[in-house]
Structure 1
Amino acid sequence: MTFESLPSDFFHLEASLSPVELDKLMELRTYLETEIKPVINDHWDRAEFPKALVKGLADTKLIGMAWPETEPFPTTAVFRGWVALELARIDASVATYVGVQNGLAMGSLGVCGSDEQRTYWLPKMHTGEIVGSFGLTEPLSGSDSAQGLRTTATRDGDEWILNGSKRWIGNATWSDICVVWAKDTADGQVKGFIVPTNTPGYVATKIERKQSLRIVQNADITLTDVRVPEANRLQKANSFADTATVLRLTRAEVAWAAVGIAVGAYEAALAYAKERIQFGKPIASHQMVQDLLVKSLGNITSSLSLVLETSRMQDAGKMKDEHAALAKAVATARMRESVAWCREILGGNGIVLDYDVARFFADAEAIYSYEGTREMNTLIVGRAITGHAAFV
């Protein structure tokens, strides 16, 4: 398959990928542009996830790449980053679905699951037979999850009883399992549990009236005396430090997705500027429009360089929390800036779905906040460079 660099990849950074990786990325790009892009605005407008496309996404073999039980070929964090960018440049909600399934849900099992749990669950999630969600955030606990988690887990013989609530849980209205994080009432430590969503006492209610990531089926979850067997407790999750390991692995990919959103908005704005005629010529020939395009491209290029180096450090085993945090904080801030400039280029057409930019503009707000707000990531980096924690 012939590979063509994106117009937003101004320095051809994709060229560092191997020929096999380039072929797989082009295969994904073709699928996304032919199968998902034509229908995605309608799904966004109706706030419905295109479930019929889950099998097609799974057939790309790019779900579950990081784990020996599922990876179709040896992959790197750099390649997984490019995949996240590619998904997000078409639609942030689809990228979020994959991020939850591949990174958070499967990541929890990959990092904290026993050999038996990994062998049973990961292949089924790889094929899309099992859809997962990740239950950490709570109505009263988001950024302070490490200390403020209120959902409890109480041991009762060979079972655990879970009580509490979760909020903003992606995929949760239709997932088959949810990885629920709860505080053990015996030792006060956070532990993870694989909870089938048909378990009595588990209720997921869709969060309505969202104006960002409308396609993602976020839910409020209530857990009322939910009984989970010890066999479903993640055997290697013994404290929030283990939860943080999962989040660390996915935070860099969220930064890549932020770049992808900026890329999607930029490409749509660039195409529009070349076609839109005002005062007898394309608006792309106007100095002020070119200024907005160049500033957007500059943000994309600098952010892409940052996330690329972050993932290279991850592949080398040198990435720390502060590296992923800086990448996420900076990439999402530059994304937010860029999608606003792209919306400006389209004028009034920038607020209707027909031209795609409005969707990227709205979805950027959620990406800016989730998996660590800019403020929290700033404090993680601030602690690393000063030696002083300033979280409270």
Structure 2
Amino acid sequence: MSELHDQTLPGDGDFYQLTSLLSAEDQQILARVREFMETQVAPIINDYWVRAAFPFDLIPGIRDLNVAGLSYQGYGCAGKSALLDGFLSMEMARVDPSIATFFGVHSGLAMGSIYLCGSEDQKQRWLPPMARFETIGAFGLTEPDVGSGVAGGLATTARREGDTWVLNGQKKWIGNATFADITIIWARDEADGQVKGFIVEKGTPGFATEKLEDKIALRVVQNALITLTDCRVDDEHRLKNARTFRDTAAVLRMTRAGVAWQAVGCARGAYENALAYAKTRQQFGRPIGRFQLVQDLLVRMLGNITASACMVAQLSQMQDAGRMSDEHASLAKAFCTVRMRETVGYARELMGGNGILLEHNVGRFVADAEAIYSYEGTREINSLIVGRAITGFSAFV
């Protein structure tokens, strides 16, 4: 299998050959992911998107890629770089953002919560089966009435009674939660007002999920409304190193970088489909790719993708060096999602009416971009995080 940066195909959105930053071994891992996404996911995903269903038959193939928790050291994980992990997120999203989101929730948010905030015993217990996809994870932070304001106080509460914690409240938009084996629930401790994390297993009394219907984006992702009614978990299920919202934020900082990579992948998928279309679609007796205005749209798209890809590549290298802060991840998430939204719009424009048909794929990227634009912090919230860093003034209400 050839190295990705040697392919130099005209339709490849890696115009500056950024995959050359990876070792030959890591490029082979990425190539396996690309092959799986293009041969196993691409042919079936539109059907699942229409039905808002999840392709569970794909999970064994994803497992066999051996990339869950890719950048974590030990516990059955590969211990690779954040840079490779970012490229992986992009590679998945360029074929389907829903599968990239499923993977990101499990590998990044759920596994990441245990990896960063769990005790050694908890890591040993949960991470190896999660790396093997024997245990699927979800991450419950957002609430029906609390989205961007979670740092200011969660409505979901945790009350300690001896060696047991009693959880009450609701979580909304929780990806994977309808079928996950475990869900990380973040709740406010009634005793000290601090945010703490809990591992809640499927089937725990008082834990109920309801699938969110009628989404227009990421329809393959199974989002749920979770209701916790006197849901009891023992203290062994409390994440031992999650003591305040700062610990929660450490997980979000790591995964927010991954969402920026997903935005690049979503934009790139739309561009590559639009470019292929421009080479074959005939108007006035010639391919539309021969017309100046069409080429202008393609170059605008490629410029957005290349600028965003360069940004996230540097971001991940800073993460590998231990130099990535909240504001660095937030700037990338805000910038890349804006450029993604613009790019998928250009792709849809290039394709005319065909741009809204799923058979040409671009319509799916246009819709899915709306979810990526909002989750893991809106543009406005991420802008305020960066603004606080560069001015020294907090403009949060």
TM-score band, normalised by the shorter chain? Answer: over 0.9
In the alignment, the residues of structure 2 paired with residue 315 and residue 4 of structure 1 have an alpha-carbon distance, to the nearest angstrom, of 22
Q: Does 1:2 align with 2:7?
A: no
Q: Does 1:50 align with 2:50?
A: no
Deviations 1:239-269 (A, max 9, x none): 0000000000100110000000000000000
Cross-structure match for 1:79 = 84
Runs (4+) of structure 1 exceeding 4 A deviation are none
Aligned 8 A contact 2:77 2:128 in 1? no
Deviation at 1:148, TM superposition (A): 2.7
Cross-structure match for 1:39 = 44
Q: Does 1:97 align with 2:86?
A: no
Q: Does 1:210 align with 2:207?
A: no
Alignment-mate amino acid for residue 46 of structure 2: N
Deviation at 1:349, TM superposition (A): 0.5
Aligned 8 A contact 2:30 2:88 in 1? yes
- Kindly report which structure 2 residues correspond to 1:99-248, keeping only aligned pairs within 5 A, or say none: 99-248=104-253
Q: Does 1:297 align with 2:335?
A: no
In the alignment, the residues of structure 1 paired with residue 348 and residue 76 of structure 2 have an alpha-carbon distance, to the nearest angstrom, of 38
Alignment-mate amino acid for residue 361 of structure 1: V
Aligned 8 A contact 1:69 1:118 in 2? no
SS of residue paired to 2:73: coil
Deviation at 1:64, TM superposition (A): 1.3
Deviations 1:7-65 (A, max 9, x none): 11111111110011001000111111111110001000110011110111011011111
In the alignment, the residues of structure 1 paired with residue 394 and residue 239 of structure 2 have an alpha-carbon distance, to the nearest angstrom, of 30
Alignment-mate amino acid for residue 24 of structure 1: I
Deviation at 1:2, TM superposition (A): 1.1
Aligned 8 A contact 1:258 1:331 in 2? yes
Deviation at 1:104, TM superposition (A): 0.3
In the alignment, the residues of structure 2 paired with residue 160 and residue 11 of structure 1 have an alpha-carbon distance, to the nearest angstrom, of 52
Alignment-mate amino acid for residue 222 of structure 1: T
Deviation at 1:134, TM superposition (A): 0.3
Aligned 8 A contact 2:153 2:188 in 1? no
In the alignment, the residues of structure 2 paired with residue 16 and residue 191 of structure 1 have an alpha-carbon distance, to the nearest angstrom, of 38
Q: What fraction of aligned residue pairs are identical, expressed as a percent?
A: 57
Alignment-mate amino acid for residue 217 of structure 2: S
- Kindly report which structure 2 residues correspond to 1:281-296, keeping only aligned pairs within 5 A, or say none: 281-296=286-301
Cross-structure match for 1:350 = 355
Aligned 8 A contact 1:65 1:71 in 2? no
Cα gap change, 1:71 to 1:283, in 2 (>3 Å): farther
In the alignment, the residues of structure 1 paired with residue 188 and residue 71 of structure 2 have an alpha-carbon distance, to the nearest angstrom, of 28
Aligned 8 A contact 1:88 1:264 in 2? yes
Deviations 1:310-342 (A, max 9, x none): 111111111111000000000000000000000
Cross-structure match for 1:26 = 31
Aligned 8 A contact 2:4 2:19 in 1? no
SS of residue paired to 1:305: helix
Aligned 8 A contact 2:72 2:80 in 1? no
Q: CA RMSD in A?
A: 0.9
2:330 to 325, 330, 348: 325
SS of residue paired to 2:165: strand
**Equivalent residue pairs, number:** 392
SS of residue paired to 2:203: coil
- Kindly report which structure 2 residues correspond to 1:243-322, keeping only aligned pairs within 5 A, or say none: 243-322=248-327
In the alignment, the residues of structure 1 paired with residue 203 and residue 275 of structure 2 have an alpha-carbon distance, to the nearest angstrom, of 47
In the alignment, the residues of structure 2 paired with residue 348 and residue 70 of structure 1 have an alpha-carbon distance, to the nearest angstrom, of 49
In the alignment, the residues of structure 1 paired with residue 295 and residue 218 of structure 2 have an alpha-carbon distance, to the nearest angstrom, of 29
Cross-structure match for 1:336 = 341
Give unmatched runs, 5+ long, in structure 2.
none
Q: TM-score, normalised by structure 1?
A: 0.99
